[in-house]
Every structure is written in C-alpha cells, then in structure tokens.
Chains A and B, each alone.
Chain A
C-alpha cells in the first residue's frame, strides 16, 4: 500500500553514487550510462529477469488481451482475437438490460460496503484504544482478527449455516414468534447478508492500521489538550481523530479504488439464480457470460469497462484528496 510515497527522485536518472566515476557520466549520452550500469550491476539485473517475465506475461499481457473486447475471438485461436469488429460488443452490452441490472447491483453493493465497512474499523479501533486493560485489548484484537484468516469459502459456508432455516438466526426470530425466513433464497435479503458477512470478516483486521496510527500520536498533545481543559470527548475529537486522518484518507482512497470490484468470489459463493435480481454484479456476470457461456469478447468488453471505471475512480479520489487535504497515494 501507499508505496508511491516512496517514489523518491530516482537514483536511476542521476549519477551513480560512486564518486570517482560520477563526473564522467554526467555528460555522456544515455546509452553509455546504461551500458556502464549493466556492466556494473549485471548480476542484479539478472535477478529481475524472471520476476519481470512474470509481470509481462501474467499482468501486462492480459491487459493487452483486453483488445478482444473489440475483436472477434475464437476459442483456441490467438489470444488477441481474429479481426476487428469495432464497438460491436460495447454497443451490445450497453443495450443489454441485464448489464444495467448488474451495474446497478454493483453500485449498490459497492456503496453499502463503503458506507459500512470503511467506518466500522475506525470506530472499533477508537473503542479498543480506550480500553485500559492491555490483556483485555489483546484478547478482543486476537478474536476479531480470526475471521480474516479463513478462506472465503469457509466464511460463505458459515454465513449460510447461520442463516439456514434451522440455524441460529431463525432460532432467535422464533423467540419473537416469527416464521423462519429462507434468507439465502430471498433477493431482498442479499445485500444485508453480503454486507453483514463482510463486516464480520473484515472489521477486526481493518483496525490494525488505525491502531498503529493511534500509537504514533504524541502523548504531549493529549497533555496540552488537558491543560487547555479538554475533556475525554474533546481530546478524541481534537487530537485522536486528526492523528489518524492520513490513515483514514489513504484507506478511503483504496476503498474507492476497489469500489467496482465488489467481492466477486463472495458473491459467486453466496448468490443463486433466485437472488440474481439483487446479487448479480458486473464481475459475476462477466464470469457467466465468458467462462460459462463462452462469449469471451462480450464478457471482456464488460470487464474492461469495469476496470476502466475502477482506474478512473481511484485516480480521481487520489487527485481530489491531494488537492483538498494534501494526502495521496502518489
């Protein structure tokens, strides 16, 4: 995360640190200094060959592979497709009512996730921060981190067991004389279930970065606030919250960046044809259209659309944040 802050002016464009060779290189053409760097550091460069190959083949090649969104593709043929068809597939999905349904569902799930899963870890971290007994704090932390380490399949399984007609949730509803609800089959429950299980799995782990930021707040600030007559609430408002603001903003930008990519795997595990009206999102529609129905170009066009929106979202969130509050990822 936030490496880009490490994008310090690179030594690569400047003279190498060895002083004896520095004066000579400054006036030389670029390829000379490359040749010298290669001669000196060829062993280091040789170590990046395989990792670079990984990035090129498994990250950048698929990016280029998105051209099949504009080309006719035949399974078994070239991964870049056979011939140009222009915007045929884009027009196809823009006029496809299912696309607009999954688009709406994606915005709903992404929005709800942002509204609930972003602030809850902050609140939980603030509450944990007020606990005076270290052992108690440790215990709550350890317990609340646990779901993060479980496979999403296990989380989906647990969710379904809790909501089964003979499960605990319906058991509690029974106390109030309510008939059992078939939660997993009812479209109107899907969003609640999705966001609820997301909170269950991520809220605890999400506190880590905030707790780390909280420990870096200078104790003197609290001292000064107390001398000025601030009570505990005012201290939280005027010292604690500003202290974790950079962390909050960084995570908010990252959350906005993943807005469109709402938990694909979790939806795939939790949804079923009965809940498609609310549960089906762009990524699951892409999966069904492409992998299950073999409409690769059509699915790739939708996938590309989603990825571009994601990139636009994170870039604008980042720019907005840099202009307004001066915190940014890059």
Chain B
C-alpha cells in the first residue's frame, strides 16, 4: 500500500472538521431547545440561553403537562397512529403478496395501477371534496383511509416476498393449505423483518403527520399533538389558561414552544436509536430491489 500523499492527509483533517461541523449543526438546535425549555423568562428574553439552562424553571412543563387538551391530543395521536397503521399494514400486505406472484394474470396491470399514483395524484381540492362528501370528516377514517397504501412501502414489501424461497409455499399448497393459510402461516412468519420495518415506516409517518387532521378535523378535541404544537408555534395561545397567574403566563409565553417541541419529539427521539437500522435496511431493500 502506497503511503497516502500529503494532500490526502490534509484532506483527512479537513474532512474531520467538516463532519464535526455537520454533527454540531445537526445537534445544536436540540441542545438549545432543551436549554430554553428549562430556562427562566428573563434569561430567554435577553437571549442568554445557548447551551445550558439559565434561571432553571419548570413552570411551563407543569402547565403543559396539566393541560387536559395536551393529553387528549396525545391520546388522539396514539389512536390515529394505531388505527391507521393497522389498516395500512392489512392492505399493503395483501396487495404486496399478490403482486409478488409472478405467474398471476394481470399482475403488470396491478403494479401499474399502484406505480402511476406515485407520479400523478388527484391533488388537494378533489381529495378534500371527496373526503367531505364521503362523510369521513371528524373521524379517524379521514386520516387512515386516504393514506392506507404508500406505494414505496408496497414495493419494498413486494420485493421481499419475491425473494422468499418458493419451496415452502409449494409444500404447504400440496398439504392442502389455502392461499390465505399460506399467507398467514407460512409467508408472514418468514417475513417478520420486513413486517417490523413496514410497521415502523407507517407508524412514524402517521405519528408525525398533522395536515390530514388539520384539514379534516373541525374541533380541537380531535386534533393530534402535532396540531397542538402547530397552533402554539403559529402564535395561537394554547393550553396556558389553567388558572395561571400573570407571572406564570409570561414565563409560559417565553418557552412554551420549546417545551411543546420537546414533549412532542420525545417519543421519536427515544425509540430512534433502537429502530434506526430497520429504517436504513428498509430503504436499502426498496432501492436495491425496486
């Protein structure tokens, strides 16, 4: 092996600096928001909060955590995520399994029906008109049904099913198992990895979504926590009316956005280290096989 040239060693040094900067720029906003959320009003207003909390203060956390609307909206997020993910997994699994059967007549058309929707969609207004006229407004179905199949996820799953060994399915067929039986008892148990990845893909996207609810829900009782946060950052006063004094109110005004950001992001940030690799492998599968 030739010794790296001088210019390459310089490059390695510069590279290290750049990547360190990338890490700092990515993480610093989180650090600053955490520091803000625990800081006192005067220090925040003076722009003194950078890395550490100054004038440690928990008032805003207490007020948000005592706000019943915050908890109701968090509950809605959980409900919408669970229902929508369950619907999405059911439909996506069925369609992907069928698409993976290469001998099936009409398979190309079925793939085409799905793929075309990646490049052309009806658009906001026809969708809004449709959901409204179907009477789905103000129900979980307005969130779950229109987003039930993500074509990208569908293609990832199809690619996975196509790579399963066919012998087991053939043997099961000879043993008299129906197609449904094969899917439930042979294919799905062999596909735990891809099923787990898909559940993660869907649940994170439903957990994070806000616009469907914002569009189709009329009362704040029905909003997910992302819309609660949205109303706060748009400056609409939220939550902070639970018998708070003036002093508390100004404290809350100074960092309620930071507190709400932390409380909304917390679940995702907590599970992130454990699930990150599933996401990466899922995307790879979709890209390589797609």
- Chain A residues with CB below 8 A from B180, complex form: 43, 47
**In the bound complex, do residue A161 and residue B36 qualify as a contact, i.e. CB atoms below 8 Å apart?**
yes
A5 to B111, CA, bound (A): 12
Question: Shortest beta-carbon distance, A322 to chain B, in Å?
Answer: 15
**In the bound complex, do residue A130 and residue B12 qualify as a contact, i.e. CB atoms below 8 Å apart?**
yes
**In the bound complex, do residue B284 and residue A212 qualify as a contact, i.e. CB atoms below 8 Å apart?**
yes
Chain A 53-70 residues near chain B, CB threshold 8 A: 54-55, 57-66, 68
A76 to B26, CA, bound (A): 47
- Chain A residues with CB below 8 A from B208, complex form: 149-154
Main secondary structure on chain B at its contact with chain A?
helix
- Chain B residues with CB below 8 A from A131, complex form: 15, 19
A50 to B138, CA, bound (A): 23
A325 within 8 A of B: no
Q: How many residues of A contact B (CB 8 A)?
A: 107
Q: Mark A274-300, 1 if CB is under 8 A from B, else 0.
A: 000000000100110011000010011
Known: A130-B12, A212-B287. A171 touches B50 (CB 8 A): yes
Chain B 214-251 residues near chain A, CB threshold 8 A: 215, 226-227, 229-230, 232-234
**In the bound complex, do residue A209 and residue B283 qualify as a contact, i.e. CB atoms below 8 Å apart?**
yes
Contact of B23 among A48, A50, A144, A290 (CB under 8 A): A144
Specify the chain A residue showing the minimal Cβ separation from B4. A232
- Chain A residues with CB below 8 A from B114, complex form: 55
Chain B 63-92 residues near chain A, CB threshold 8 A: 90-92
**In the bound complex, do residue A151 and residue B104 qualify as a contact, i.e. CB atoms below 8 Å apart?**
no
A11 within 8 A of B: yes
Question: Shortest beta-carbon distance, A139 to chain B, in Å?
Answer: 8
Specify the chain B residue showing the minimal Cβ separation from A50. B91
A86 within 8 A of B: no
- Chain B residues with CB below 8 A from A203, complex form: 22
Interface segment, one of A98-106, A111-119, A186-194, A303-311: A303-311
- Chain A residues with CB below 8 A from B260, complex form: 157
Known: A12-B106, A44-B101. A157 touches B121 (CB 8 A): no
Chain A 226-259 residues near chain B, CB threshold 8 A: 226, 231-233, 247, 257
Question: Shortest beta-carbon distance, A266 to chain B, in Å?
Answer: 11
- Chain B residues with CB below 8 A from A65, complex form: 122, 125-127, 129-130
**In the bound complex, do residue A150 and residue B268 qualify as a contact, i.e. CB atoms below 8 Å apart?**
yes
**In the bound complex, do residue A166 and residue B233 qualify as a contact, i.e. CB atoms below 8 Å apart?**
no
A214 within 8 A of B: no
**In the bound complex, do residue B149 and residue A51 qualify as a contact, i.e. CB atoms below 8 Å apart?**
yes
A195 within 8 A of B: no
Chain A 175-214 residues near chain B, CB threshold 8 A: 180, 200, 203-204, 208-209, 212
**In the bound complex, do residue B26 and residue A290 qualify as a contact, i.e. CB atoms below 8 Å apart?**
no
**In the bound complex, do residue A63 and residue B2 qualify as a contact, i.e. CB atoms below 8 Å apart?**
no
Specify the chain A residue showing the minimal Cβ separation from B95. A51
A168 to B184, CA, bound (A): 54
A269 to B209, CA, bound (A): 13
Chain B 251-290 residues near chain A, CB threshold 8 A: 257-258, 260-261, 264-265, 268-269, 272-273, 276, 279-280, 283-284, 286-290
Question: Shortest beta-carbon distance, A167 to chain B, in Å?
Answer: 7
A43 to B129, CA, bound (A): 35
Q: Mark B25-53, 1 if CB is under 8 A from A, else 0.
A: 11111101100100000001111001000
**In the bound complex, do residue A55 and residue B117 qualify as a contact, i.e. CB atoms below 8 Å apart?**
yes
Contact of B276 among A142, A166, A300 (CB under 8 A): A142
A67 to B118, CA, bound (A): 20
**Interface pairs A-B: 10 shortest CB-CB:** A62-B122, A65-B126, A10-B108, A43-B179, A151-B208, A303-B123, A51-B95, A37-B105, A62-B126, A300-B125
What are 6 A-to-B residue pairs whose CB atoms are below 8 Å? A52-B113, A66-B122, A68-B126, A127-B18, A130-B12, A136-B19
Additional A-B contacts beyond A136-B19, A142-B273 (15; CB < 8 A): A1-B152, A12-B106, A45-B98, A47-B95, A48-B98, A58-B148, A150-B268, A153-B210, A166-B45, A167-B32, A209-B287, A232-B5, A269-B230, A290-B124, A311-B119
